[in-house]
Amino acid sequence: MTLEMALVAPALLVLILSCVQFSLWYYAGSVVRAAAREGANAGAEGAAAEPAARAVVAGPGGGGAVHVPEVAVSTDAGAQTVTVVVSGEAPSLVLGLRLPVRASATASAETFRRAP
């Protein structure tokens, strides 16, 4: 019985920690996608896109889920679309393991035109 536990316990522990690590990485990816989407929507409405994206990453749903978040905002020459790219790293249970997460979202800028 002891030999069986000595063989099975480490494998079971690795399996459990792998599931937890995958969950942390997946959640960080979800937070980054939501931040990119919120930033693009804010930029399309004429508001500042970067603070909107950073608010999602640092907010109650994303606090601590993404380490070293970076937000880049770009618009095309005619200001017709806004693209927000959010990247960072997911928390890691293994020392030295880097799990990058990155997402981008593009939205069309809202413009109002007078009827002819």
Residues 3-47 have pLDDT tens digits of: 888 889 999 999 999 999 999 999 999 999 999 999 999 988 888
pLDDT the model gives residue 77: 63
Supply φ then ψ for residue 90, to 5 degrees.
-80, 150
pLDDT the model gives residue 101: 94
pTM, full prediction: 0.83
Structural domain includes residue 104: yes
Q: Decide: 39 and 104 in contact? Cβ < 8 Å.
A: no
Structural domain includes residue 41: yes
Give the DSSP letter of residue 110: P
Q: State the amino acid at position 89 in one-letter form.
A: E
Structural domain includes residue 81: yes
Pairwise pLDDT comparison (51 vs 116), residue with the higher score: 51
Check whether 112 has a pLDDT greater than 80. no
Structural domain includes residue 115: no
Q: Decide: 46 and 110 in contact? Cβ < 8 Å.
A: yes
Structural domains in the chain (count): 1
Burial class (CB in 10 A: 0-12, 13-18, 19+), 56: buried
Alpha carbon distance 49, 35 (integer Å): 10
pLDDT the model gives residue 23: 94
